[in-house]
Amino acid sequence: MPQDAKRPDRERMVWRGVVEEYRSFMPVSDRTPVVTLGEGRTPLIYAPELSRLKSAEVYLKYEGGNPTGSFKDRGMTLAISKAAEEGSQTVVCASTGNTSASAAAYAAKAGMTCAVLIPQGYIALGKLAQALIYGAKVMQIKGNFDQALDIVRELGERSGKVTVVNSINPFRIEGQKTGAFEIIDTLGAVPDYHFIPVGNAGNITAYWKGYKEYFKAGISSSLPKMMGFQADGAAPIVLGHIVDHPDTIATAIRIGNPASWDNAVKARDESGGIISSVEDSEILEAYRFLAARESVFCEPASAASVAGLLKTEVKSGSIVVCVLTGHGLKDPDVAISQISVPEAIEATYDAISEELGV
């Protein structure tokens, strides 16, 4: 690694982000300027309540701990680093929200212009706020995610001037596979089951790739079953056909024609796993359970993995990892819709102690 004289030694000792930490597995060279925000090394949290319910050892890989609050940062660090290496000035993406937040942040770090296309009315408030505050050019389109992605692909092909950083960008998958490395490094074991929400299906593709690479390198000696979950109203892989009007409260997986469809099916079949679906009501139940019982606040799409676990039989005593893809504060509207906001009471000791019953 080239030494930077301006930096104190201490800085080289902290976690350097997924590209540096897993450099030997990354398609980078000395000419790649690594653009990082210190993503990765997210908590792997033991979940006692879920473990008891499933008679298994259940862990939550909390990707809300990434710099912009979702796993998208793992892939974006590499996608933007490679765009910088190629001299790109502008990056563009279609997004259900988290990709745009992440692209906006990493592009700003690299001094690039970032343009994002988002489906009007179907993006969680926290994500829109992020893309805007990081300085991206945000375009809401009168269409859904799949239409936005079609336009972005065409921009990449026809304009010749912009780099597309959607998960069709192969570097996104390469960066995201580090999630699997971290799970094995932290557990010192390979999970028997890996539960994960499926939208565009880039993440299930990436995790499977990561598990296989550690296996091939002789670092691990088994592979997990990949257990993917779509939302009922947006379950093209389960149905076996494109869904023209996908609908679910979990906006991050509101996708009717996944870009990595074939690879998701491969991950399922090669691993002996499943891709199934969960209802919005089951997603919300898992979402509230995670916050109230395991003290982990994730966004609705993330809870699809745990909703899947709750209704799937796993072998007793097995090691289970559920990926929680994004932070709960991404989507404050859903959180508030799930609780009742308390009314104001008198600002007196008596009123408060009476309310508390103490």
Return d(Cα 68, Cα 33) in angstroms, integer: 20
- Give the residue with the Cβ less far from ligand PLP, 197 or 233: 197
Residue span 100-139 as binding mask against ligand PLP, x where in contact by CB under 6 A, dash where not: ----------------------------------------
Q: Does 88 bind ligand PLP (CB under 6 A)?
A: no
- Give the residue with the Cβ less far from ligand PLP, 163 or 325: 325
Near ligand PLP by CB under 6 A: residue from 128, 178, 325, 328: 325
Nearest to 172 by CA among 110, 52, 91, 240: 91
CA torsion 277→255→110→33, rounded to 10°? Answer: 60
Which H or E run contains 75? helix 72-85
Q: Dihedral sign for Cα 101, 94, 123, 90, please.
A: positive
Near ligand PLP by CB under 6 A: residue from 98, 100, 144, 271: 98
- Beta pairing, strands 162-164 & 274-278: unpaired
Which H or E run contains 92? strand 90-94
Which H or E run contains 194? strand 193-197
Residue span 35-74 as binding mask against ligand PLP, x where in contact by CB under 6 A, dash where not: -----------------------------------x-x--
Closest contact distance (angstroms) between CB of 101 and ligand PLP is 9
Near ligand PLP by CB under 6 A: residue from 149, 165, 198, 303: 198
Nearest to 264 by CA among 310, 198, 327, 329: 198
Q: Does 299 bind ligand PLP (CB under 6 A)?
A: yes
- Give the residue with the Cβ less far from ligand PLP, 57 or 165: 165
- Give the residue with the Cβ less far from ligand PLP, 88 or 200: 200
Q: Does 165 bind ligand PLP (CB under 6 A)?
A: no
Q: Does 200 bind ligand PLP (CB under 6 A)?
A: yes
Take residue 265 and report the two structure tokens written for it: 């099916």
- Give the residue with the Cβ less far from ligand PLP, 57 or 80: 80
Q: Residues 289-310, buried b or exposed e (16+ Cβ, 10 A)?
A: bbbeebebbbbbbbbbbbbbbb
Near ligand PLP by CB under 6 A: residue from 67, 156, 191, 197: 197
Cα angle value 118/123/127 (rounded, 5°): 95
Near ligand PLP by CB under 6 A: residue from 199, 224, 308, 328: 199
| C-alpha pair distances (Å), 69 with each of 191, 192, 215, 216, 337 | 24, 27, 29, 31, 21
Near ligand PLP by CB under 6 A: residue from 60, 253, 307, 314: 253
**Binding segment toward ligand PLP, per CB under 6 A, in 13-21, 200-208, 332-340, 350-358:** 200-208
Cβ atoms of 207 and 323 within 8 Å: the answer is yes
The residues of the shown chain that bind ligand PLP, judged by CB under 6 A, are 70, 72, 98, 167, 197-203, 252-253, 299, 301-302, 325-326
